[in-house]
């Protein structure tokens, strides 16, 4: 199949996976390496995730990674995918991302989510005040944060004067709302925000994306248009068989995660043995998560279908493999399959 440009933007979501036998520090170095590759290949944006308290993912602080990534890349937008706002003060998040926007003008995204990104005990450990559970006030937190960024807090708001003190002005990050449920679509539409839906968590989100667009149109937002991105799990390799083999590492890790067992990303040979011998899996419900796994032609066709079903303008691709080189190769092949500006025939060489 001849490579032709994608009818949508292609971006990267990096969860900084930790491979068995390696270290979290090495995973963070791999994140910087992959970001530089994505920049050269022509991906549109590079988001880093927030997860806490587990051995598989080394990215609890996207705000700490964004600066180093932006400073070692030249063109690509860099941001959070996302900041889990319930853990934080809206003012602190606004200040931090204002600094980043001031240092890297027109390149910083602030993706915001409601999920904890961890288990209940770790969520409690993240709280500053542990006398009781934190309130479920995400809509109020989000409105306050946007008020700082837009300098739109009401004059009688007790924190109104703080909006003008954000250190990166006149630059500001581009806020996005992340989600995997109808409620997140409603909030994004009502607030006029771009919306990134996590298909790799909930593969039944096409109707939710449609709800976002319909509700956005009802609100008008001074003529602004809705913007939808879909986060998709992809592993691309030179053949379908090779890609399926690479995908076993993630399948094993997430099978055990559903049973409450947290592990680093295992090598494919171990994962293949586990999955073949795991008789218990036969009696357990299969994961509903969608994964696009295969050769460039296979991945291109399936990704086109998913993005079309969401009516999205962008696909944000997440990939976890045991070997970092396999992850690099996956993004190289994907860039070539969609003829990204920086992709070359070298990306298709063995």
CATH of residue 149: 3.20.20.30
Q: Is residue 191 part of a domain?
A: yes
263 falls within a domain: no
The answer to whether residue 257 is domain-embedded is: no
Rounded to the nearest 10 degrees, the angle between the axes of helix 296-310 and helix 206-219 is 40
Per the structure, the complete domain to which residue 197 belongs is given by: 9-247+291-348
Instruction: Report if residue 331 sits inside a domain.
Output: yes
Q: Which residues of the chain have pLDDT under 70?
A: 1-2, 279-288, 344-350
What distance in Å separates the CA atoms of residue 191 and residue 240, rounded to the nearest whole number? Answer: 42
What is the number of structural domains in the chain? Answer: 1
Taking the CA of residue 255 as centre, how many other CA atoms within 13 Å lie in the half-sphere pointing to its CB? 21
CA atoms within 13 A on the CB side of 56: 24
Q: pLDDT digits over 221-240, tens only?
A: 888 999 999 999 999 999 99
Coil/strand/helix, residue 302 = helix
Radius of gyration of the chain (CA): 20
276 in any annotated domain:
no
The string of pLDDT tens digits covering residues 270-288 is 999 999 987 565 555 455 6
Q: Which of left, alpha, beta for 61 (phi over 0: left; psi -120 to 50: alpha)?
A: beta
**Is 15 within a domain?**
yes
**Residue 104: DSSP 8-state:** S
- Answer whether residue 175 is part of any domain: yes
Residue 17 maps to a domain? yes
Quick one: DSSP state of residue 49? -
Angle at the Cα of 155 (from 152 to 161), degrees rounded to 5?
75
**Amino acid 45: pLDDT:** 98
């Amino acid at each position: 199949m001849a490579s032709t440009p994608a009818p949508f933007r292609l971006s990267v979501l990096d969860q900084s996976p930790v491979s068995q036998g390696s270290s979290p520090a090495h995973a963070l170095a791999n994140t910087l390496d992959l970001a530089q590759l994505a920049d050269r290949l022509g991906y549109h944006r590079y988001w880093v995730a927030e997860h806490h308290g587990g051995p598989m993912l080394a990215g609890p602080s996207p705000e700490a990674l964004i600066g180093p990534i932006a400073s070692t890349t030249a063109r690509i937008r860099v941001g959070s995918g996302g900041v889990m706002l319930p853990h934080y003060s809206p003012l602190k998040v606004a200040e931090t991302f204002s600094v980043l926007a001031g240092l890297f003008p027109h390149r910083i995204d602030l993706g915001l989510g409601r999920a904890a990104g961890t288990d209940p005990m770790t969520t409690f450990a993240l709280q500053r005040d542990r006398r009781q559970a934190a309130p479920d006030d995400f809509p109020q937190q989000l409105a306050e944060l946007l008020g700082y960024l837009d300098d739109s807090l009401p004059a009688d708001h007790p924190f109104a004067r703080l909006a003008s003190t954000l250190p990166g002005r006149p630059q500001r990050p581009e806020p996005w709302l992340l989600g995997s449920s109808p409620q997140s679509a409603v909030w994004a539409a009502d607030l006029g925000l771009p919306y990134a839906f996590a298909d790799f968590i909930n593969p039944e989100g096409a109707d939710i994306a449609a709800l976002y667009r319909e509700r956005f149109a009802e609100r008008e937002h001074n003529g602004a248009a809705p913007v939808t991105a879909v986060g998709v799990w992809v592993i691309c390799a030179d053949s379908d068989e090779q890609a399926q083999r690479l995908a076993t590492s993630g399948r094993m890790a997430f099978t055990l995660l559903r049973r409450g067992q947290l592990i680093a990303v295992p090598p494919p040979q171990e994962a293949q043995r586990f999955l073949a011998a795991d008789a218990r899996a036969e009696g357990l419900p299969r994961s509903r998560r969608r994964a696009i796994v295969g050769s460039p032609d296979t991945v291109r066709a399936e990704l086109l279908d998913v993005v079309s079903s969401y009516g999205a303008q962008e696909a944000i691709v997440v990939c976890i493999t045991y070997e970092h080189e396999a992850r690099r190769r996956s993004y190289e092949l994907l860039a070539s399959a969609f003829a990204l500006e920086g992709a070359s025939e070298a990306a298709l060489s063995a």
